[in-house]
Copies of this chain bind each other. A is one copy, B any other.
Amino acid sequence: MSVREEQREKVVNLLAGHLLETGLSQTSLRQLASAAGVSDRMLLYYFPDKAAVLSAAIERVAASLAGALAELVPEGTTLPPHTLLAQLSRLTMREDMRPVFRVWVEIVAAARQEEPYTTLAATIIAGFRDWIVARLDMADGADRDATAMAILAFVDGLALVEICCGMDAAKGAANAVENLLNH
Contact = CB atoms under 8 A, between A and B. Distances in A.
A82 interface: yes
Protomer copies: 2
Contact of A112 (B106, B150, B154, B180): B106
Given A122-B165, A160-B157, A152 B173 contact: yes
A145 interface: yes
Task: Give the contact-size bracket for chain A.
Answer: 35 or more
Contacts of A156: 156-157, 160-161
Interface string A168-180: 0110111111011
Interface in A138-183: 143, 145-147, 149-150, 152-158, 160-161, 163-165, 169-170, 172-177, 179-181
